[in-house]
Amino acid sequence: MTDVYEKLAKHLDNLPASYPATDSGVEIRILKRLFTPEEAEAATALSLFPEPADVIAKKLGKNESDTESLFYSMSKKGLIGRSGKKQNRYMAANFIMGIWEYHVDSLDERLVQDVNEYIPQIWEKTWAKQNTHQHRVIPVSKSIPVEMNIMPYQKAESIIKQQSKIVVVPCICRKEQGMVGHGCDKPLETCLMLGTNAVFYEENGIGRSISQEEALEILNKGIEAGLVLQPSNSQKPFVICMCCGCCCMVLKNLNKMDEPAKIACTHYYVAVAEDECTNCGNCEDICQMGAIKVGDRSAKVNLARCIGCGLCITRCESDAITLVEKEESGKYTIPANTVEQYMKMAQERGV
């Protein structure tokens, strides 16, 4: 008989964001830390279609009220998703982004160590091979030339101004890295949850609800601190992450690659005007990808590493760096919404 945790691991691996098996079995250890056997079994009855408890109870052959109580408790613990206005509906949650991030307020050191062992393996087995990633990179507004036409979903300020609900949550990457002695001094309260995702966080008591104005202030502080803007990968993102190259699970793994620009979801890169560059090194200091370095006479951009975040432009005192939009043929198609993003991810994985 298949172990219930192995069954759950396979179930999570059938979701768009993956949960691949490893030789060490760390993925099973993680599930055992998070789910009781009963919760693990119940979670395997859920799909990405949010369903009310009575429907799921029939599948499980269980009593409706016990099922409602179990799933509500699981959704409050961040093990599954919950939505619905008139009645609660329950659905499967990806491990990342999903279950892991929902645990930002309930991390323990052993869980963090296991997840840190596991994430590089997810990266290698799945994410690095996909065209559609969980995040995309958008340039900071100060880096966008006035003559460049840019879609509203490529500007963090425009995305924020479209939201009726925003919840700010501590960055799980910097928080967990801090817990195991590898943190940095960049701001912690920076993850902006948007729309229905923000409602879920608020109802679960994670983070705090903020106004658009405060979100814009947090955004500016993040940019000032040198954080890369990474919304989830659709035109209607459910989160804007602000990431550092040292802690972020995405940037950290991208940084290990020789040519991260090839797989990062971005429409931009930067160019340096050598005649105007004073070779001061500010750009090199701020770049989270090691993509720009001072040279003999001017800074040089390694286009294989530049992900077009535009942070270097905000630090250039001689206006020598310019944001450049890729040719149409070099751009990837940004999914219209989260559903289409996940469908593309699932299709690319063949699940």
Partner 1 sequence: MEATIFETHYKEYCRQIAELDFSSIKDRLGIELRGRDAVIPFLDKEYIVSDTGIADESGKRPNYMVCVILSKYLLLCLHALCCFKNRPRTILILNRLL
Binding site for partner 1 (CB under 8 A): 11, 14-16, 45, 47-52, 54-55, 58-59, 83-84, 89, 91, 195-197, 238, 336-340, 342-344, 346-347, 351
**Residue pointed to by tokens 């250039």:** 316
| CA pair distance 52, 73, nearest whole angstrom | 14
Residue 181 vs 350, nearer CB to partner 1: 350
User: Would you give the DSSP letter of residue 154?
Assistant: G
Residue 61 vs 205, nearer CB to partner 1: 61
Query: With the C-alpha atoms ordered 306, 312, 317, 321, is the resulting torsion angle positive or negative?
Result: positive
Minimum distance of partner 1 from residue 193's CB (angstroms): 12
| CA pair distance 251, 228, nearest whole angstrom | 9
Minimum distance of partner 1 from residue 334's CB (angstroms): 13
Residue 39 vs 51, nearer CB to partner 1: 51
**Nearest residue to 103 via CA among 163, 24, 179, 45:** 179
Residue 53 vs 171, nearer CB to partner 1: 53
| CA pair distance 276, 222, nearest whole angstrom | 28
User: What are the DSSP E strand ranges found in 77-148?
Assistant: 81-83, 89-91
Residue 199 vs 244, nearer CB to partner 1: 199
Residue 49 vs 205, nearer CB to partner 1: 49
> Contact, 104 vs 65, CB < 8 A?
no
Minimum distance of partner 1 from residue 39's CB (angstroms): 17
Minimum distance of partner 1 from residue 187's CB (angstroms): 27
Return the number of other C-beta atoms located less than 10 Å from residue 120's C-beta: 14
| CA pair distance 163, 203, nearest whole angstrom | 17
Residue 89 vs 186, nearer CB to partner 1: 89
Cα 351 → chain centroid:
21
Minimum distance of partner 1 from residue 190's CB (angstroms): 22
Minimum distance of partner 1 from residue 267's CB (angstroms): 20
**Residue-wise DSSP of 21-84:** --SS-HHHHHHHHH--HHHHHHHTT--SS-EEHHHHHHHHT--HHHHHHHHHHHHHTTSSEEE-
**Residue pointed to by tokens 């890729």:** 326
Residue 284: C-alpha distances to residues 82, 125, 126, 224, 295 (Å): 43, 31, 30, 15, 10
Minimum distance of partner 1 from residue 11's CB (angstroms): 7
Return the percent helix, strand and coil in the chain, to nearest 5: 45, 15, 40
Residue 88 vs 279, nearer CB to partner 1: 88
Minimum distance of partner 1 from residue 331's CB (angstroms): 17
